[in-house]
Amino acid sequence: MEKFISHTGTAVPLRRSNVDTDQIIPAVYLKRVTKSGFEDGLFAAWRNDPEFVLNQPQYKAATILVAGADFGTGSSREHAVWALQNYGFKAVISSRFADIFRGNSQKGGLLTVVLPQASVEKIWDAIEVDPTVQVTVDLAAKNVRLGNEVFTFEIDDYTRWRLMEGLDDIGLTLKNIDSVTTFESNRPTYKPKTLPIRS
Partner 1 sequence: MSKTLAEKIWADHIVRSATGEPDLIYIDLHLIHEVTSPQAFDGLRLAGRQVRRPDLTIATEDHNTPTLNIDLPIADPVSKLQVDTLRKNCAEFGVRLHSLGDAEQGIVHVVGPQLGVTQPGMTIVCGDSHTSTHGAFGALAFGIGTSEVEHVLATQTLPLVRPKTLAINVDGVLPDGVTAKDIILAIIAKIGTGGGQGYVLEYRGSAIKALSMEGRMTICNMSIEAGARAGLIAPDETTFEYVKNKPHAPQGADWDAAVEYWSTLKSDEDAEFDSEIFLNAAELAPFVTWGTNPGQGLPLNASVPNPAEISDIEERGAAERALTYMGLEAGAPLKSIKVDTIFLGSCTNGRIEDLRAAAAVVKGKKKSDSVRMLVVPGSARVRLQAEQEGLDKVFLDFGAEWRNAGCSMCLGMNPDQLAVGERSASTSNRNFEGRQGKGGRTHLVSPLVAAATAIRGTLSSPADL
Task: Note the residues at the interface with partner 1 (CB under 8 A).
Answer: 16-18, 20, 22-23, 26-28, 30-35, 45, 68-70, 73-79, 81, 96, 98-100, 103-104, 107-108, 156-158, 169-170, 172-174, 176-177, 179-180, 183-184, 187-195, 197-199
Three-class SS state of 60: coil
- Give the count of alpha carbons within 13 A of 71, CB side only: 31
Taking the C-alpha atoms of residue 73 and residue 18, their distance in angstroms, rounded to an integer, is: 7
**CB-wise, 18 or 136, nearer to partner 1?**
18
Q: How far is the CB of 94 from partner 1 (least distance, A)?
A: 11
Which one, 10 or 93, has the nearer CB to partner 1? 93
Least separation, in Å, of the C-beta of 148 and partner 1? 27
Nearest to 151 by CA among 95, 85, 100, 189: 95
CA 119 – CA 52 distance, rounded (Å): 23
Least distance in Å: CB of 66 to partner 1? 15
- Identity of the residue, 57 or 196, whose beta carbon is nearer to partner 1 in the bound complex: 196
Residue 33 C-beta: closest distance to partner 1, Å: 4
Work out the end-to-end distance of the chain between its first and last CA atoms, rounded to an integer number of angstroms: 43
Name the minimum Å distance from CB 133 to partner 1.
Answer: 25
Residues 6+ apart with CB under 8 A from 187: none
Read off the DSSP letter of residue 78.
T
Residue (130 or 161) nearer to partner 1, CB: 161
